[in-house]
Structure 1
Amino acid sequence: MQVALHHEGWVRFGGVAVRGRAFEGDSLLEAPAIAARFARVLESGTVPSSLEAVADCAAGLEGFFAAIVDLDGADRTYLVADGARSIPLYYDGGGEVVSDRGRAVRESVDAPRDPITEREFLLTRYVTGPETIWRGVFAVQPGEVVELASDDGAGDRDGRRSVTRRSYREYWPAANEAHLGSCTDDDLSPLEAGLETALERLEAVAGDRPVVLPLSGGFDSRLLAAALVERGREVIAFTFGRSGHPDVEVSREVAAELGIRWEFYPYSRERWREWYHGEAGRRYRGWAFGGDALPFLAEWPAVRGLLEAGRLPEDALYCPGHTVATPSERLPRFVGEEPSDTEVGEVGCGPAVDADDADSTVPQIEPTVEALTEYILERHYALWEWEDAGFRRAARERIRRGLLGDRDANKISSPETAAAAYERWEWRGRMSTFTNGDLRVYEDAGLEWWLPLWDPAYVRAWESIPLADRRGKRLHADLATAIYWRVAGVPHDRAALTDRTLEPADRFLSLVRHTPAHQFTERDGDWEPAFLAPRSNWRKPGSHPLAWDGAVDDALLEAVPASRNFYALRTLSELGWLDLAEPSWLPQGEKLPSRVAESVVE
């Protein structure tokens, strides 16, 4: 077997390679100790099944790591991903190649495109399940061990290995009748206890280093910032986009109230053309694309620019606010569910970079697998218009697999079980690709990262919260508000303020209060009104708060309907069907699925 590892952080111990850190109880294990633990477990032979032994070992580790266990003389290789799939591992279906780069596996086995997963990527910007856009190239899933085994040590007739997948960590939020009912304020304590464990682990990993947070206008990063300030930690925050954008102005206020250093990195359409199409941008996108998710871009220019300017430390622990609570934002309403006064979209965590994120129209559906499947198709498979009965059948089956795992469809029969199934689908198929993609931004800059709000302790705590208090991330948002209010001492309405509830007048006042002092550092001396466009206009060229439509040729922007956002154009570009920088993009149109081609050009 060929093992091709590209990131320099991999550590080898005998036949085991590990990246990352994890806790075993209260003990922090670095990569060499994790590798040694896997090697000892297999060599001891105390568990009859080697697959079960590796899974049991992984289940006892809580942190962010990946492992390849390939002991000398063994006829089996094991691939391990943590519960957030924070570090990617890819392999081919014949068990010939393993790598931390999907493209390296694809090139080694000369894998062709898979028309089903390619279409899924086109419509969603990610691939659900273990597949990639390349036929026969797979990704290890969150909380999964993959066994690549030769039959009787000799393989089958063509030398290929069999593949067995085993989930050692699942995610299935509270779906028990005992959990029903709404939490009171006193019930914040279990979630806060989970947060305390996660923060203690973060501090153990950080040591004496400062913690750097991308601070948005939502609750996730605010929760981390306030809780770390309360613990006396040195916190540095950074925000990016266009001055006046609600995400920027709320972040500015939060940092000021907490008394932490705040760095702002302005974006513009002109800069995006250079960033996206320059050598560094092309290299990053090529390295970060594993065949299963669109490379993460939002904070990539800010991280690079602030580091180059010496405004962020290289020797720090970077902690983006990705959280297990996010899937609860997009839950539909279920027939038979008790009404709630918290709507989806009210407490969304940023950066809020797309007008779609503001959609607070929540459909009501039956609590069944069939209804959930249709909801996901309509809401998530929507970057392009499409009519393809064959793909719809395949997509339904893929969605069902993500909803259920090994469960029987008949078990989904109540609002609680339906919500659990939907959030499992997001955890396994959607969130892991976004979390995974964002971390590549920090690795591209040579930075260390940690994910406190995906710490298994916080995941378990959130998993136990009843549906009424998960919906809209209510209890998570309440915890963030309570800690921020406690630490900053601001009025409660300001403690609960987000980028989605900031009034236009408040945005203007923020500019009056802050921009004169920062006029030449933040806005390049521009005294014209800053970005104040309403969310309803963000799809119009030149009106996006991140200004990233500047990466797209102006003629293409004029030809494409406003309903097709930057993500949609980027999926076409990643598949090689569209050149965002060249005006000669039209001849590629004949390669597109018919309805997509119609959507590109009016």
Structure 2
Amino acid sequence: MRIDLKINNGFLWFSSYNVHLKGYFFYENIFYEKQNAIHKLLKFQSISEFKKVVHQFNGIFTIVITIDNTTLLACDATRIFPLFYGIDNNQLLITDEIENFKSKFYCKESEIEMLSSLHCFGNKTLFDDIFITQSSELLTLQDDDIVRSEFLFSYATNEYSNDSYHNLKQKTIDAFDNAFKRLSESIKDKKLALPLSAGYDSRLIAAYLKKLEHKNVLCYTYGRASSFEIENSKKVAETLGFDWVFIPYTEKLIKGFTSSNEFKEFVKFAGKYSSTPNFQEYFAVKYLKQQNLIDETTVFISGYAGDLLGGSQFLKVIPEDFKTKKLIATLYKEKFHFYNHSNEQKLALQKTISKTLTHFNFSYSEKSAHSVFEDFDIKEKITKYIFNSSSFYTFFGYEVRFPFWDTTLLEHFKNMPVSSKLEKKLFDDVLVTNYFKPLNIHFKNDYKPDASHLKINQIKTFIKNLVPKRVLSKRLEKSDWNNYLLITNELKEELLKKNLPFEIPTKAYNQVVVQWYLYFCKNQI
């Protein structure tokens, strides 16, 4: 077995004897990072002791530890530091750079998965027999073999709280308080950068940074100059006394980026031959760095996936009476919709979904279908596309935090009854009543979709299926507040110059990005 860990962007690897760590964790309310964390990990003398304790770690981390000739790999729920593993030169290689594998054979099945969902499924990459660690995964390896794959956390449950709405609200406030106190302890007095939209998730982070008396905070918003995000995000920052900057996504900022060596390195770093890289915030972070608006110790605070905790899936995807027998069909419909499949491909993907569900939780049919759906989504799309998007922070050398993915928050919201998640009822109530209104950052023009909006959107979706592709492609521009069109036009120009065929985007601009990225992975760009 060979262990080769070299990527030190943003977070550094710390190693001693049989232990390697990247990231940080809380254990028994004590914060561990760097050498302090290594010293803690070195105290574990048995596999059973380590397995028992690592389940209680709360943070962002990847750990490689060898005990009694057994090597264990552990990742937190965000899995922003994935590891690759597979046989190379007749021995098992564990590495954070897939390029370290000498033999790589392209996998057509994984390509279809990525075209369909923007990422490969399970532990697969775009190469046969080269695998990648998963969200919350704990791998046990012996003698160049994978002995066991298990998970440190599951969102699947069949135990929902019976608390009254009032008590649930108070417990939610307590959970937020504890999570943000841990955030505050982990960042101390460092400069903070907050991508602030008009939405609720980043606004709650801003509210807590104010409440916890963090003063060195830069809020930023990016995209079109006409974006609806600008007015409210600026008002939030000004009201709370934080600096705010708008970064307009113009041709001057974007033009010619595909020819940049730095950008090509970013694509390798962000895509990892397993996920479609997100380019959206790349230009904003680069701008902040070039303009010296942030320093090398700045920590980015991201609101990723907060709305999922509140029940955003129940707004768009999951019906209130969702049943287990509908799981595979619904997951296929909602998570593989970027590509038109043949019947053979459809059956293969549905088998993949079934196999993945069983791997995540062998007894998933005994759990609530709602929570199983969300667990699948967390370990797949949320981890591999959403949290993987944080690569634009670490690539440029910055640490990042995800306060909504604090383990205690995840545990709290997974046990919340469905009735409180419908239309994000309790989540939004807590945020508006207990944080936004007291701080004067609740606005009349805040957009909150309700059941009627959702019904209208469902009708629109049905109509879209009858509309020509070119018309649908043009309609994407209406909601393109971040000016992703400008970015994807550059990608399309490169594909056209090289006479590489591609499908016109009809559902999202990421349909262009994923096609461009797959050509990149095959060295055709």
With normalisation by structure 2, the TM-score equals: 0.84
* Greater C-alpha radius of gyration: 1
User: Is the contact between residue 293 and residue 433 of structure 1 (CA under 8 Å) also seen in structure 2?
Assistant: yes
Unaligned runs of at least 5 residues, structure 2: 451-471
Q: 2:181 aligns with which of 189, 200, 203?
A: 200
User: Is the contact between residue 436 and residue 442 of structure 2 (CA under 8 Å) also seen in structure 1?
Assistant: yes
Deviation at 1:564, TM superposition (A): 5.7
Unaligned runs of at least 5 residues, structure 1: 151-159, 333-342, 345-361, 502-533, 583-602
SS in 1 for 2:60: strand
Assess, with a 3 A threshold, how the Cα gap between structure 1 residues 324 and 172 changes in structure 2: closer, same or farther: farther
Q: 2:86 aligns with which of 74, 88, 92?
A: 92
Q: 1:551 aligns with which of 481, 490, 509?
A: 490
Assess, with a 3 A threshold, how the Cα gap between structure 1 residues 324 and 254 changes in structure 2: closer, same or farther: closer
1:507 corresponds in structure 2 to: none
Deviation at 1:250, TM superposition (A): 2.8
Q: 1:57 aligns with which of 53, 56, 70?
A: 53
**Residues 1:31 and 2:34 aligned together:** yes
**Residues 1:307 and 2:289 aligned together:** yes
User: Is the contact between residue 318 and residue 447 of structure 1 (CA under 8 Å) also seen in structure 2?
Assistant: yes
Percent pairwise identity = 18
Assess, with a 3 A threshold, how the Cα gap between structure 1 residues 302 and 491 changes in structure 2: closer, same or farther: closer
Q: 2:150 aligns with which of 151, 166, 177?
A: 166
Assess, with a 3 A threshold, how the Cα gap between structure 1 residues 544 and 325 changes in structure 2: closer, same or farther: closer
User: Is the contact between residue 179 and residue 406 of structure 2 (CA under 8 Å) also seen in structure 1?
Assistant: yes
Q: 1:148 aligns with which of 129, 137, 141?
A: 141
**Residue identity matched to 2:14:** V
Q: What is the CA RMSD across the aligned residues, in angstroms?
A: 3.2
User: Is the contact between residue 194 and residue 458 of structure 1 (CA under 8 Å) also seen in structure 2?
Assistant: yes
User: Is the contact between residue 442 and residue 449 of structure 1 (CA under 8 Å) also seen in structure 2?
Assistant: yes
Between the aligned partners of 1:79 and 1:399, the Cα distance in structure 2 is: 24
**Residue identity matched to 2:82:** P
Runs of 4+ residues deviating >6 angstroms: 540-544, 555-559, 577-582
Deviation at 1:486, TM superposition (A): 3.8
2:269 corresponds in structure 1 to: 287
With normalisation by structure 1, the TM-score equals: 0.74
2:200 corresponds in structure 1 to: 219
**Residue identity matched to 1:11:** F
Assess, with a 3 A threshold, how the Cα gap between structure 1 residues 99 and 324 changes in structure 2: closer, same or farther: farther
1:49-88: CA deviation from partner (whole Å, max 9, x where unpaired): x2x33321311321111111135xx432111101222321
Between the aligned partners of 2:502 and 2:108, the Cα distance in structure 1 is: 27
Assess, with a 3 A threshold, how the Cα gap between structure 1 residues 492 and 552 changes in structure 2: closer, same or farther: closer
Between the aligned partners of 1:80 and 1:118, the Cα distance in structure 2 is: 27
User: Is the contact between residue 84 and residue 133 of structure 2 (CA under 8 Å) also seen in structure 1?
Assistant: yes
User: Is the contact between residue 156 and residue 364 of structure 2 (CA under 8 Å) also seen in structure 1?
Assistant: no
1:355 corresponds in structure 2 to: none
1:410-430: CA deviation from partner (whole Å, max 9, x where unpaired): 425xxxx11011101111111
Assess, with a 3 A threshold, how the Cα gap between structure 1 residues 162 and 217 changes in structure 2: closer, same or farther: same
1:597 corresponds in structure 2 to: none
User: Is the contact between residue 329 and residue 472 of structure 1 (CA under 8 Å) also seen in structure 2?
Assistant: yes
**Residue identity matched to 1:282:** K
User: Is the contact between residue 137 and residue 149 of structure 2 (CA under 8 Å) also seen in structure 1?
Assistant: yes
1:550-600: CA deviation from partner (whole Å, max 9, x where unpaired): 323459799854516431122222222899999xxxxxxxxxxxxxxxxxx
Between the aligned partners of 1:91 and 1:456, the Cα distance in structure 2 is: 26
Matches within 5 A, 1:365-404: 367-389=322-344, 391-404=345-358
2:381 corresponds in structure 1 to: 430
2:118 corresponds in structure 1 to: 125
Between the aligned partners of 2:309 and 2:348, the Cα distance in structure 1 is: 23
Deviation at 1:161, TM superposition (A): 2.4
Assess, with a 3 A threshold, how the Cα gap between structure 1 residues 374 and 269 changes in structure 2: closer, same or farther: farther
2:466 corresponds in structure 1 to: none
Deviation at 1:305, TM superposition (A): 0.7
2:2 corresponds in structure 1 to: 2
Deviation at 1:242, TM superposition (A): 0.7
Assess, with a 3 A threshold, how the Cα gap between structure 1 residues 491 and 136 changes in structure 2: closer, same or farther: closer
Assess, with a 3 A threshold, how the Cα gap between structure 1 residues 551 and 500 changes in structure 2: closer, same or farther: farther
Q: 1:571 aligns with which of 514, 521, 525?
A: 514
Aligned residues: 492
